Structure 1
Amino acid sequence: MYSDKFGRLMLGLCSRKPTSVVRSPAGRSAFSWTSVCKQRTLWLQRSACLEVRQHVLPCQISSARSASQTTVDPDEVKRFQSLASKWWDERGEFAALHSMNDLRVPFIRDNLLNMHRRRQPGKPLAGLKILDVGCGGGLLTEPLGRLGADVLGIDPVADSIGTARLHSSCDPDLCERVRYRACTLEELSAEGEGGEEGAGRFDAIVASEVVEHLADLETFAFCCNHVLKPDGSLFITTINKTNLSYALGIVAAEQLLRIVPSGTHDWEKFISPVDLERLLESNGFSVQSVRGMMYNPVSGSWSWTDSTAINYALHAVKLREEPQPDRAEAEADSPDPEYQAHAAAAHN
């Protein structure tokens, strides 16, 4: 009875007041940086980092940030530690994530194909390196590997990585393309240029249903930029920060219908598409598209919608840095001061 009522309620509310998709800075409503998910002090830290960035190598910057800041919330780690053995139960706590693959896998695949123009029958993503951040038990890592990509899944919960490795070992087709590591994004970023994964090594990063569990979104965005190649893609699916997302995503889904375990989400950590785009733009990304997503608990399926009021998927691209002229070249191109003095005297 509750499921049927909830399904009708969500369908009605989501279709009644669609939220426009955000693709460009134009037309934004007023933005208050201090309201974004308890990140009130992070902009100042970011500004301090920018002052020294011109004099420090990227890998050194990443190492310094990872030493003092972390994306990991210890409470979230404990929560997912208790669920580590349940990732592949398609009717259990992660049932909604299993069915979400019907949307998020094609969303990632099609946008990458548009970016790279590759076509290989059966393995359309062959040759691409993808990082799956917060991979859990590998629910999204494995499908991307089956599409031909070389995928590294990382997660701070070691037991979840153990579950992912065990499950992928049952499929010989994944052995050479899917790997897992129990580590954080900032640890991977700190490996620098010389590391196996290192800086600028990935064609794409996937963070699906992850950012709403992180302790530091600024560090997350910074490290994503660091490990991505120029023109690399960042894919995020998450929950909007609205009254409707609280009512349906927490009260109904966690407390009434028990679709997800109680306490899984903290509404204060949710972030709107506008705020997330602003965060990514400040870290060298350009948002290409934002699409609304809706879950129907009656059918257990996901569908695309014009409304981003609850869930949404975002695709952003790392911008190429403008090459800075070499100092020696700049000095060579500028007139010699002594020559300028002689030229001025001759003119006079």
Structure 2
Amino acid sequence: MSDNVNADPAELAKFSELAHRWWDPESEFKPLHQINPLRLEWINGICPLSGKRVLDVGCGGGILADSMARKGADVLGIDLATKALRVAQLHAMEAQTSNIQYREISVEILAQEQPASFDAVTCMEMLEHVPDPASVVQACARLVKPGGSVFFSTINRNAKAFMLAIVGAEYVLNMLPRGTHEYAKMIKPSELALSCRNAGLDIEATRGLEYNPLTKRYWMSDDTSVNYLFATRRNA
């Protein structure tokens, strides 16, 4: 990997190691399977996916990308974790999901190659895993057509997020592998909002994602103190 690629080799190795478990709904990726219907409906409500050309940045094993294709979008999923991409491609073949492609390419390089060519871009649970999140936001903004939608989701950086997303999820409840998230890489909504503004993206909606460990249920709310989502639109 070249030195100028905005990726952490340790992060890529971490997700590649788990690649074969992406589509097991009881695996380490259970939270992604559980939250996917929520985020899919939220995205589809703001930007109806049918007939749209959509890019999923940091697609991993393809959980969101595959579901967007099944909503009728023409989807390209990109990632730099080779094994996860192979799993995504294999799943698309097994599930016979049409109108979906996967590529091993960085979002920054794709932005140079195909600027302003997607109706919508999603970048979910990815910004907290890269060295330079603002660079990813800029690239996503370049890739979407003027007036198109860009969706982000990530984790806030505060004491509550540390207790729930790291201590709780990784060490107490064992919902995620230990070391999945690093506190220093978490991103405050104000920081993400600044990156969006600098990239020419207007924030249209924000939502929080909450979890009850007793009922094991996720839901969306106005509470962005831990997990949160942004819907943005590129200036026309």
TM-score by length of 1: 0.65
Higher normalized contact order (CA 8 Å, seq sep 6+, divided by chain length): 1
Give yes or no for the alignment of 1:181 onto 2:116.
Answer: no
Q: Secondary structure at the match of 1:190?
A: helix
Q: Secondary structure at the match of 2:47?
A: helix
Q: 1:222 to 1:69 in 2, by over 3 A?
A: farther
Alpha-carbon distance in 2 for matches of 1:149, 1:187: 23
Alpha-carbon distance in 2 for matches of 1:85, 1:209: 19
**How far off its partner does 1:218 sit?**
2.0
Query: Which string of whole-angstrom CA distances, capped at 9 and with x for unpartnered residues, describes residues 227-251 of structure 1?
Result: 1100111111111111000011111
**How far off its partner does 1:69 sit?**
4.0
Q: For the pair shown, which has the larger CA radius of gyration, 1 or 2?
A: 1
Kindly tell me the number of residue pairs found equivalent between the two proteins: 235
Amino acid at match of 2:90: L
Alpha-carbon distance in 1 for matches of 2:203, 2:3: 28
**How far off its partner does 1:111 sit?**
0.3
The answer to which structure has the higher strand fraction is 2
Give yes or no for the alignment of 1:170 onto 2:86.
Answer: no
**How far off its partner does 1:104 sit?**
0.2
For 2:75, which of 151, 172, 190 is the aligned residue? Answer: 151
Query: Which string of whole-angstrom CA distances, capped at 9 and with x for unpartnered residues, describes residues 153-207 of structure 1?
Result: 11101110110011111233x22x111111211121232xxxxxx1110011111
Alpha-carbon distance in 1 for matches of 2:225, 2:24: 28
CA RMSD of aligned residues (A): 1.3
CA contact (8 A) 1:99 1:300 kept: no
Instruction: Kindly report which structure 2 residues correspond to 1:54-93, keeping only aligned pairs within 5 A, or say none.
Output: 69-93=4-28
**How far off its partner does 1:294 sit?**
0.3
For 1:108, which of 20, 37, 43 is the aligned residue? Answer: 43
Alpha-carbon distance in 1 for matches of 2:213, 2:83: 28
Give yes or no for the alignment of 1:94 onto 2:12.
Answer: no
CA contact (8 A) 1:221 1:279 kept: yes
Aligned residue in 2 for 1:135: 59
Alignment gaps of 5+ in structure 2: none
**How far off its partner does 1:305 sit?**
2.1
Query: Which string of whole-angstrom CA distances, capped at 9 and with x for unpartnered residues, describes residues 99-125 of structure 1?
Result: 101210011000003xxxxxxxxxxx2
CA contact (8 A) 1:233 1:317 kept: yes
Amino acid at match of 1:154: I
Alignment gaps of 5+ in structure 1: 1-66, 114-124, 192-197, 321-348
Q: Secondary structure at the match of 1:169?
A: helix
For 2:163, which of 227, 230, 247 is the aligned residue? Answer: 247
Alpha-carbon distance in 2 for matches of 1:168, 1:297: 32
Aligned residue in 2 for 1:234: 150
CA contact (8 A) 2:138 2:195 kept: no
